[in-house]
Copies of this chain bind each other. A is one copy, B any other.
């Protein structure tokens, strides 16, 4: 099956499987979808369904070859090269993102950080010197075409506009608002609130 046929929801779960597989890689050669699901505390049938898009790589009674599956997921997610990412907004959330080590396993590297606050510009966080947002136009030359927006809501749209102008092709938006960009630009929105807002639904009334 062509990789382009994998549904979006499954694509969004692939990094989670990849993380689990990388942890298992040291200890074992093969893994069943069931064991992988248990290890990651996710739904076993979901894992089976998602991995069915990789049908050819699983062997009945043996499971999936861990190294092979890692390689395939990386290939599908285009993680076989290191991807440079720019971060705009070095507030609390931006700083948390900057020091977060979890990106590395996906071969993403935060290569530049920008802010408007004069007190922050020039500061060095984890080997990254915070730059003035007026430098965003340099991203194209620096071959950075992915960006994370972690600015306050009222600055999100103009940040997105500047990123698009700078040649950015994909944006991860942490601002709790909708940004409008040309259709060819991929935006993924993360709102740390929405999952919290669902939590009460699942717990019994006290």
Contact = CB atoms under 8 A, between A and B. Distances in A.
A39 B204 CA distance: 33
Contacts of A186: 199, 202-203
B77 A197 contact: yes
Interface string A172-196: 1010101110000011111111111
Interface stretch (A55-63, A111-119, A143-151): A143-151
Contact of A102 (B19, B92, B105, B192): B192
Interface string A158-169: 000000000001
Contacts of A106: 193, 196-197
Interface string A69-106: 00000001111000101000001110111011011011
Nearest to A110: B196
For the side of the interface on A, what is the size category?
Answer: 35 or more
Contact of A178 (B40, B91, B145, B196): B40
A15 interface: yes
Contact of A201 (B78, B96, B198, B199): B78
A93 to B, nearest CB: 4
A170 interface: yes
Interface string A134-161: 0000000001011010000000000000
A133 interface: no
A21 interface: no
Contact of A15 (B108, B172, B197, B204): B197
A1 interface: no
Given A92-B99, A96-B96, A169-B203, A190 B197 contact: no
